[in-house]
Chain A
Amino acid sequence: MAVRWGRARGGLNQQEAAGPEDAPGPQPSSMLEVRDLRIHFPTDDGLVKAVDGVSFALDRGRTLGIVGESGSGKSVTSLGIMGLHHGGKADIRGKIWLDGEELVSAPAARVRELRGSKMAMIFQDPLSSLHPYYTVGFQIAEAYLIHNKVGRKAAKAHAVDLLGRVGIPNPQTRVDDYPHQFSGGMRQRAMIAMALSCNPELLIADEPTTALDVTVQAQILELMADLQEEFGSAVIIITHDLGVVAELADDILVMYAGRMAEYGTSEDIFDRPGHPYAWGLLSSMPRFDRARTQRLIPIPGTPPSLINVPSGCPFHPRCPYAASLGGRCVTEVPLLRAVGPGHEAACHLPIDEQRRIWTDLVQTQLAPAASQADGEDA
């Protein structure tokens, strides 16, 4: 395959995005570009700023991983890209360009045309996302029928072909099965087949393996990697599992309380993360490929409510380094700024200090790689 993998450019910094007048159009090469996306929900209790200023770009053939805890805005972002928020209930601002076409201001009918054909989504829970009344084959063929001028027979043949492609045995007979006749892993495969039915150029997978067992998860992750190599589409994978992102993503966006905390390549985030929240995630995670430590180092406190996001840096109440900056973290929202080539973090810590803390304090506390012999208590 002679596809050249460009780098995804992310987090065009927020000052630039702040002036919409002078903001230029999308990068010509990117499949998807999101700029300063804000999705707010007015509720009786107050304004929920579920997504607050998210920007990134994604090229064909690349995979972007969005990680964050529950309530960090990762799913809301993906639903926003797909145009699946209720217009009257969500206040969406910013720009989303899909292959050069702006979606936020596009009429609903146009987004509907693109949804399922040019962009598709794989949902988390395959049991509740498949309709129990219709056969799996019908549900896969449905989008194909709507977006292409084909007959029912051709659509069904296409469904059989797709089921075979995603690794379901005997697709000719299984195509007439109902979702309850499929196991969890097979349902997720059927969901993937459905998403792929129109050869989408952008595929969003929202926690595609969370409901599955590890051995099945490994199969699905492998399948997704294979299919991407085959179709060359741009993929966004949303997950809370750092292992899953590491497996698939080229670039990673770490979200916290609806904002971008850090953006960089997979190596940037795992080998030289710049945000204290990313440090916290890496050190709070038990890992069996590393020597076993006596204690984990948790992030203190709990994720904030999105109605009452802490002032300044949303992470400051949980950040062990906020005190050293004398209140700046409490009053001033940190902007994303470059900490390395193509690597950005939204943190007030001076870059030298950030590097020093990571190498001297955080990285040393992480368990060393398990020795071949044993891997017992470090």
Chain B
Amino acid sequence: MTAPLSPPSAAQVPSADALMTVTGLTKHFPVTRGIIIRRRVGLVRSVDDVSFEVTRGETLGIVGESGCGKTTTARMLTRLIEPTAGQIIFDGRDITHLSAGAMRPLRREVQMIFQDPYSSLNPRHTVGAIVGAPFRLQKVSTERGTKRSVQELLELVGLNPEHYNRYPHEFSGGQRQRIGIARTLALRPKLIVADEPVSALDVSIQAQVINLLADLQNELGLTYVIIAHDLSVIRHICDRVAVMYLGNLVELADRTDLYARPRHPYTVALLSAVPLPEPIHRTADGRRDRRERIRLTGDVPSPLNPPPACRFHTRCWKAQEVCRTVPPPLEELAPGHHVACHFPENT
């Protein structure tokens, strides 16, 4: 319990079938003040010492509340922002500090799906130009020409290939998300990082896109890292789930294991907070027969000044002195189930 601060064992030894191995990934954003003389007045610790591994063909989900660093992690995986520390190994190559030029060929292999299908498509470009952009930028020539390939892609994601010359505004939200997915698939990537791929969509459309992602994975053998805040969506699409809280990875486990036996108190609270679509009954005196629920008090603290040691201790009902002084290491408590907590549940 008082183990020294060492990188967690989860990702130390990259296994043979690991597509991406992340070790001690950290991102701190400096907060500066002053226009001429810039002084650093603080540090936003968005992501702190996060390690995990993405196995070929699997879907890894990252869940957490706003400000937990899940999007920052996604952007570092795709090298859209520079990590402060740590290492990212993709397909046996260290890509942590590759230059933009050296990174370019690798961009074919790691692609990203964005959250908002309204702002991630250029309104002045036709669908053909948007989906064909990866071919143009990577100077890839396809067998039967870019147009043919784009139309095949549109068909693959369930859009009409004749809509090649239309503009994004002519499509609904769900269709736009499909256009974004077609663009992502253009270069046949190995890894797709999807940041909240369905959260901007209506419930009935969400299911269409979730099924599409699953079909594409089966058809093309893709590996996904999916970032989402919706625990039901994550459970449906992911094989393994990582839970983040305030920049730290607090739990990493198999989907079944995580939902049936959550071990970190935060995961337990998170799962119990989700409102279930089951009607609540009134008792005889008219009061609501409420569900038993773990209530976390207060809000997530600011990552500008995170609580010391275990960052969850300010809201945790099990917190003891040790939680305020010794950061809990991410330990494997059961096969494949990693938890960073001094007093885990369900053991």
Contacts and interface: CB of A to CB of B under 8 A. Distances in A.
Interface of A: 1, 3-5, 61, 69-70, 183-186, 213-219, 221-222, 225, 229, 240-248, 250, 265-267, 269-271, 280-282, 284-289, 292, 295-300, 302-303, 373-376
B204 A247 contact: no
A229 B174 contact: no
Contacts of B275: 217-218, 221, 241, 243-244, 246-247
A303 B208 CA distance: 13
Given A218-B275, A297-B207, A303-B204, 16 more contacts: A5-B282, A69-B204, A216-B65, A217-B275, A222-B293, A246-B275, A246-B279, A247-B276, A270-B277, A270-B278, A288-B231, A289-B276, A299-B204, A373-B260, A374-B260, A376-B260
Nearest to B266: A215
A297 B208 CA distance: 8
Given A5-B286, A213-B300, A240-B203, A289 B260 contact: no
A1 B286 contact: yes
Interface residues of B, number: 49
Nearest to A244: B275
Interface in B264-289: 269-282, 285-288
Interface of B: 65-66, 172, 174-175, 202-208, 210-211, 214, 229, 231-233, 235-236, 256, 259-260, 269-282, 285-288, 290, 293, 295-297, 299-300
Nearest to A293: B236
B207 A299 contact: yes
Nearest to A243: B275
B305 to A, nearest CB: 14
Task: Name which of B66, B175, B204 has the most chain A CB atoms within 10 A of its CB.
Answer: B204
Pairs of residues from A and B, 10 with the lowest C-beta to C-beta distance, nearest first: A243-B275, A298-B207, A284-B207, A266-B279, A286-B236, A213-B65, A299-B204, A218-B273, A296-B207, A69-B202
Nearest to A294: B214
B282 A218 contact: no
B299 A289 contact: no
A28 to B, nearest CB: 20
A351 to B, nearest CB: 22
24 contacts: A5-B282, A69-B202, A184-B66, A186-B299, A214-B229, A215-B270, A218-B275, A218-B296, A225-B290, A240-B202, A242-B277, A244-B275, A246-B275, A246-B276, A250-B282, A265-B279, A285-B203, A286-B235, A288-B235, A289-B276, A302-B172, A302-B174, A302-B205, A374-B256
A185 B295 contact: no
Given A61-B286, A285-B232, A375 B260 contact: yes
